[in-house]
Structure 1
């Protein structure tokens, strides 16, 4: 939870809504009754999940002014450095808390302000009363379009508009120069700050040059040419229908690779053998084949029972077929598990364990046969020898 509270981001896009989750776990309490009994108890730093802002219209890179709080200044415009979506606060560039007197070397901490204490700066506009005068305009109310998810960029996208400004723009004025409620088409669009491009360090001797990356190092054979014999295939036969892998293996075993160009990569012949058989797609395909075979077997058993009812109703015959099919599936599952157990070396380990147990029993019997008891020793009795009792 502490890492989530201190997790501020400089990203200007909304990719997910993880900040709306309960970071205190399923048993977390945000409105603890203990606070009612003890007003001096520590107040949680994170906002309640239902109080957190979902759609942020003020993002890093925007220029704003603080209208409330200890650092409010209507004439000072600051740039948003980062935001913390768990606490609904923003941090600013070139605006930091004063350093402590007892620790002047400590790094400066940026000022934090709540989202509701900010007004978005829209730029300078000409005053409608005095066209020669330019004033800074701030958005006091922001509307937004319906968000849409961009699959290619993997983020949510929407447009923001100024529904109310300070000072009031001419298009947003009503009767008597007062502010009026406007529609989305009448509001002025506010562009998003540009996303800075990632700066890469200059290339050095350890980096691959651009020319080396763009150089073509593999030129496969044309699709109508057999890469083993270099013969042109007939028009009705494609290279994909020829089993080059089996042909290559047989030629390799029979030492008939004289016609093969050594510059051709091996992967074009052994792509199936060298590919990963445990990929998700291949495992899913094998599972689908097994499920299809089971379903076909189930349908076949039901069909056979329906052809030979023997005085039973069709529903009864169907239930009996399904019962036998389930029993067969359980039996086949046990056999498959046993085969996998044997393939993993379970049978060999069991036999070794039995042999070790037998040797251990033989050693125990040998020690008992070779045991010699001394007559007259306490806590020992030799059979067949009478002992005197006091």
Structure 2
């Protein structure tokens, strides 16, 4: 089966916090015009050549790494990875004074080749001139992995990773591969129930009571009490029989809760409309051919077809007008009309109350003297 094409949305969301490899679409080429920025608001997209991209990632979010060239051996936790640009994002380090501001420290990114996985603290033989063993952090210098295989249950590629060479070297594991476990995903935490939450025993209770009448649609539907009977039973329950509170609508829940816009319902309504149109055409043909009035059968059928088309168009026009006269649309049109009339009245009022100041070069009409 061919690989699904790579989309621009996947390019913009290439930075992910998921460690699993589910497909290899990140190895596909990317059009160059996707990388161009048309405005300042467009994000900066970086990419490497498809042949330089990593197929199976062994550095994933949740790992602890150090960077090559860092003499302090600072441990960083991997926050996310970008398989398009081969960049590894690590959590930012909180500096002095940043805690008071309340802002999150900025995350930095480094190339995949600069990352070395942290294996743990190992006890090594004592150094020269010392008798006590030393405990030092050990990092993976070279990585190896088993053959990846497709896991159909989790729908992803799985493999085991291990360190073939470490820095510093471990004497008792010189010729052995050190397995590196994958980081465990954080399980969602559930808060303790409070007084606003429903207890578990209340949730487990069965509160539904089946109606007293037959559940079958073919069964008899009980008669609903009139208003007088209901009020009498409400105020004088000891004098009349008690009516069943279960509504008879439960017999038709399937019809009531069915989606009216489903494909089957739409198709059924279309079939009914086609059948109604065909019946109307048949009735008009029968009526016109029965009363020829000096016409031929062909002319009568042609006139019946003309009347049928005109009637169909009139029904469509009436339906269109009914939709225009919807309550919400009518209220909106009425509101717009009132606003327009109020605006025109205010404009006339301003023109009527307008008074011109006496200025030179003004002519007063003779009729106004």
TM-score of the aligned structures, taking structure 1 as reference length: 0.46
TM-score of the aligned structures, taking structure 2 as reference length: 0.48
